[in-house]
Structure formats: C-alpha cells, structure tokens
C-alpha cells in the first residue's frame, strides 16, 4: 500500500471505530492531527490499557466462577476498568462495565457471570481493533521514515 492509501485507511478505520461505538470522542480527539498527544504517547496509552484491562478481566472472570463471589472486589475491578476505558475513550468497554457494576450493585451473582463474559468479548473485539489501529499507524510511521531517508 502507498503512504497515502495507508493514511486514508487509518482515517476510515478510526471513523468506523467511532461510528460502531468502539471509541468515543476522546479517542477520536487523541488520534486527531490537532491533538497534543503524539503517536508514541497514544500507542503507549493503548498498549498499557490493553495489558491492564486484560489482567483485570481475567481476575473478574475468576471471581465470577467462584461459588461465593466477592461482589465488592468484582465491583472494584469493574470500576477500575471503566475508569481506564473513560480515560482512553474505549466506549463499548465502558458500557459493558456498567452492566457488570449494575449486577454487582444488585448482588445478582447469576447475571454477573453472564455480563463478565459479555465484557470479555467486547474487550477482545476492542483490543483487536486497537491492535489494527496501532499496526497501521506503525506502517505509516515506517513509510514516512523511509520516505524521509530517501529524500536526503
């Protein structure tokens, strides 16, 4: 793919992430050329988010399978994931966390297990979308670097 094609694809891809609810305006603004957040900072934020949320969801899945679920711990973890999602703009994950928190507040252990499975699925999809975003941004950076070196 040419550099211009990659750039157009990335714009289209971020727009589709936004339109499909994977991300909200905040992520959209981070990715904007007018943002104070550079590509490396955004990549670090996304990678850190994915690692931490994956770890927290794994804990939630473990708690939700226990015979006596510690609802307070589960709620604390879901709130942590929600906060991380708000800071990055991961909208679908944030919304899924709300369902987990609602189940915790209702002390509904049966639905908690179901909404944790749903949260895990939504996160995996969002993580995949973020990974594609990062791979494309990396390809663009590499192409720009090669183009800059060729012009010297």
Q: Determine the structural domain holding residue 82 and report its residue range.
A: 3-146
Instruction: Say how many CA atoms lie within 13 Å of 138 toward its Cβ.
Output: 8
Question: Degrees (nearest 5) of the Cα angle 34, 80, 97?
Answer: 90
Query: What phi and psi, each to the nearest 5 degrees, are found at residue 3?
Result: -60, -45
CATH number at residue 55: 1.20.120.160
> Does 101 map to a domain?
yes
Report the distance separating Cα 128 and Cα 134, nearest Å. Answer: 10
User: Average pLDDT in the 68-74 region?
Assistant: 88
DSSP 41-96: HHHHHHHHHHHHHHHHHHHHHHHHHSSS--HHHHHHHHHHHHHHHHHHT-HHHHHH
- pLDDT at residue 151 is higher than 80: no
User: Average pLDDT in the 4-32 region?
Assistant: 90
Per-residue pLDDT band for 152 (boundaries 50, 70, 90) equals low
> Does 151 map to a domain?
no
> Does 18 map to a domain?
yes
Measured in whole angstroms, how far is the alpha carbon of residue 143 from the centre of its chain? 26
Note if the pTM is more than 0.85.
yes
> Does 129 map to a domain?
yes
Q: Say if residues 108 and 127 touch (Cβ distance below 8 Å).
A: no
Per-residue pLDDT band for 70 (boundaries 50, 70, 90) equals confident
Kindly report the average pLDDT of the chain as a whole number.
90
Q: Which of 97, 95, 101 is nearest to 71 (CA)?
A: 101
Instruction: Give the pLDDT confidence score for residue 145 in this predicted structure.
Output: 86
Q: Say if residues 77 and 63 touch (Cβ distance below 8 Å).
A: yes
Query: What phi and psi, each to the nearest 5 degrees, are found at residue 78?
Result: -60, -40
When comparing pLDDT for 34 and 56, which is higher? Answer: 56
Beta carbons within 10 angstroms of residue 92's beta carbon: 20
**Above pLDDT 70, what percent of the chain?**
94
| pLDDT tens, position by position, 21-34 | 999 988 878 877 66
> Does 33 map to a domain?
yes
- pLDDT at residue 39 is higher than 90: no
How many distinct structural domains can be found in the chain? 1
Report the distance separating Cα 44 and Cα 1, nearest Å. Answer: 25
User: Average pLDDT in the 87-107 region?
Assistant: 95
> Does 37 map to a domain?
yes
Using the structure block, give the residue that is written with the tokens 């949260």. 119
- pLDDT at residue 127 is higher than 70: yes
């Amino acid at each position: 793919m040419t550099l211009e094609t990659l750039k157009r694809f990335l714009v289209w891809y971020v727009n589709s992430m936004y339109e499909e609810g994977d991300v909200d305006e905040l992520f959209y603004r981070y990715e904007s050329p007018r943002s104070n957040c550079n590509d490396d900072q955004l990549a670090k934020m996304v990678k850190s988010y994915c690692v931490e949320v994956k770890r927290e969801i794994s804990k939630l899945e473990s708690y939700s399978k226990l015979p006596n679920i510690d609802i307070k711990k589960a709620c604390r973890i879901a709130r942590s994931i929600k906060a991380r999602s708000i800071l990055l703009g991961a909208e679908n994950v944030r919304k899924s966390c709300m369902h987990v928190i609602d189940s915790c507040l209702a002390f509904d252990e049966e639905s908690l297990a179901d909404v944790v499975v749903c949260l895990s699925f939504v996160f995996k999809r969002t993580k995949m979308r973020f990974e594609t975003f990062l791979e494309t941004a990396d390809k663009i950076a590499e192409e720009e670097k090669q183009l800059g070196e060729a012009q010297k």
